[in-house]
Structure 1
Amino acid sequence: MEKSFNRSIRIGQELQKKISVIIQYSMQDPRIKKMITVSEVKISKDLSYAQVFVSFLENLNQRNVDKILIVLNNASSYIRKLLCKKMRLRIIPNIIFYYDDSFLKGNHISMILNKLSKKNENTLFYE
């Protein structure tokens, strides 16, 4: 019988918390002035790689997003070193950062649905 809450999910959640704290407080890179949110961490089965999905509170163009991702990926060894000090794991996974635009897509869909519902309310009054 498979566990419903396996180890890789728990480690992913803990990594998400620790990485977000490291990015907010320990990284002193002046190129990262934006508020960065770690939205999800996916870990491989052998715990050797972690895909870290980040999003930004501001709406950025693709060029700025790419620059920040390059900075984060270049700093991944530093972040990994800090994780070694904060977590008691035998293997700290290699970290790869990706941009998560699901919040922007969800916001866009929500705005479209709001416009449609307002149009439907207006048409109900005129029928």
Structure 2
Amino acid sequence: MEFQRSHRVAEQIHKEVSALLIKGLKDPRVGFVTITAVEVTSDMGLARIFFSAIGSDAEVKNTEKGLKSSVPFLRRELAKRLRLRFVPELLFQFDHSLAYGNHIDALLRQVNTEHTDDQDDSGEN
């Protein structure tokens, strides 16, 4: 039962924070950001929000700073939108899984291209 509740709250936080980032956040440091996942602890005290952003490492760090500075605003807005007695603390963390997946994809494409070139050089099809 408790797992289901924290899961439902995580989904609601995901939905609301995504909407707030699109419509309500005016921080110029926060560029194109995607909320990839939200995990809420079983005691509902902490919501870990994973995000991905496009740009260099410096731009991603700047985006993270902007998100962290927007936490009071986001918590206040979540309190208005969600029917919770207590809004969890929000912790933003960069999601490295997308960058890692893109890296693996690029490596696989490179291996495939080299394999195709090797076949073409040897005259095999």
Structure-2-length-normalised TM-score: 0.87
In structure 1, what is the Cα distance between the partners aligned to 2:46 and 2:62?
22
Aligned residues: 121
Which residue does the alignment assign to 2:79? Answer: 84
In structure 2, what is the Cα distance between the partners aligned to 1:64 and 1:124?
41
The Cα of 1:107 is off from its aligned counterpart by 0.7
Worse-superposed segment, 117-126 or 39-48: 117-126
Which residue does the alignment assign to 1:60? Answer: 56
Runs of 4+ in 1 over 6 A off after TM superposition: none
**Equivalent residue of 1:77, what SS?**
helix
Unaligned runs of 5+ in 1: none
Unaligned runs of 5+ in 2: none
Kindly provide the CA deviation profile for residues 101-126 of structure 1, in whole angstroms up to 9, marking residues without a partner as x. 21111111101101111222233342
Matched, 1:117 2:112: yes
Which residue does the alignment assign to 2:28? Answer: 30
In structure 1, what is the Cα distance between the partners aligned to 2:39 and 2:50?
8
AA at the equivalent of 2:117: N
Identity %: 27
